[in-house]
Structure 1
Amino acid sequence: MDWYYPNFTNDMWRIVGLCFFGDKMHFVDSARKTYRLAELQAFLAECGIAIFDTCLRIRRTTGTASDKDLEVVEQADLDGMLRALPRCRAVLAAGQLATSIFTTHYGIDARHLKMGGHVDFSFENRAIGLYREPSSSRAYPMRVEQKAEYYRRMFQDIGLL
């Protein structure tokens, strides 16, 4: 799949399926071991959920995708992203690296930001919530159902559930 979270072992789209449909297989095409991209994109657009990377280029320092083994080569234009999304009221950082990049860029004190927590910050006179959620990678040691509970609380908090 040529899109965000394309790796079939990544749980992001299973998490979204659990949160919104109570079914981790909702967006899964089991026969092809991929995701139903058109259905997924239509659903996200209908809900007003945008996807964006914090990094445009990374280098794997080992053979894993663990955040600790990634070197950031080029960060994304986070200001440009928020300007392009004038109705954005919340940002989800899925994993420690994304959280670190975002909090550093915006000068957010996240020392006490726990998993599942959020902190509000201001961007060009807009209040935006930054939510720290567990990584959807299978390398992150948490069952998909547990991860989905964190995400579900965030979606409820921002009014999507």
Structure 2
Amino acid sequence: MHIETHPFPPVLPEHATVMMSGSFPPTADKRSMAFHYPNYQNDMWRVYGVIFYDDPKHFEVAGEKRFDAARIRAFLVARGIAICPSVRRAIREKGNAADAHLRIIETLDLPAVVRQMPQLRHIITTGGKATDVLLGFTGDAKASLKTGETLTFRLDDRELSLTRLPSTSRAYPLKLAQKIAAYRAFFQRCGLV
């Protein structure tokens, strides 16, 4: 089995207050751009478009079935939103990005990542695998989070919140409006909208 390294570097604005963490991107043939959440069928950037610009197509390239990575990156940096995948290296046991078939070889080094962003206070996960990885840093072996739940924990000398939000994959059985509402409520709590 082939070990893959996550193809996209994290986006870690020094002034970030929020960090989003997923697991692993789809295979190259399913990517519409060379950036996080690259599948055109995934609604992550439509959710952000609605919340921050009232336009689900804000991050799309007009007339093409792809997202604008440079525009997304500039937005994230301007708003102080970091993205750091929870999985650095993995094996796709079934050749896809489904969490259930992803064997983790190496996770992120959360303490090292957090130290790069002194204002970071909130972390969101976008799926079960990322949630499980990050729960491993809470110091509570029995900790668990269902979608929509938040827990607080200390990392070094900093209190952080960890919130599990719904996956924006269309395979996740929740209406888009409900996903948007969940993400909007989170960003409102953090004071970003």
- TM-score when scaled to structure 2? 0.77
Partner of 1:117: 149
Q: Which has the higher helix share?
A: 1
What secondary structure, in the 3-state scheme, does the structure 1 residue paired with 2:83 have?
A: coil
Q: Any conservation in 1 of the 2:111–2:156 contact (CA below 8 Å)?
A: no
Q: How does 1:43-58 map to 2 (within 5 A)?
A: 43-58=75-90
Which range is displaced more, 128-137 or 102-111? 102-111
Identity %: 39
Say if 2:100 is the partner of 1:68: yes
Query: Which structure ranks higher in relative contact order (CA pairs < 8 Å, sequence separation ≥ 6)?
Result: 2
- CA distance in structure 2 between the partners assigned to 1:142 and 1:66 by the alignment: 17
Partner in structure 2 of residue 127 of structure 1: 159
CA RMSD of aligned residues (A): 1.5
Distance in 1 (CA, whole Å) between partners of 2:149 and 2:51 is: 17
Once the two structures are TM-superposed, the CA of residue 72 in structure 1 deviates from its matched residue by 0.7
Instruction: Give the structure 2 partner of residue 160 of structure 1.
Output: 192
Structure 1: runs of 5+ lacking an equivalent? none
TM-score for the superposition, normalised by structure 1: 0.91
Matched, 1:100 2:124: no
Matches within 5 A, 1:19-38: 19-38=51-70
Q: Report if the CA contact (8 A) 2:154-2:160 is conserved.
A: yes
- Note if 1:14 corresponds to 2:46: yes
Further displaced range: 54-63 or 94-103:
54-63
- Conserved in 2, the CA contact under 8 Å of 1:55 and 1:75? yes
Structure 2: tracts of 5 or more residues without a match: 1-32
Q: Number of matched residues? A: 160
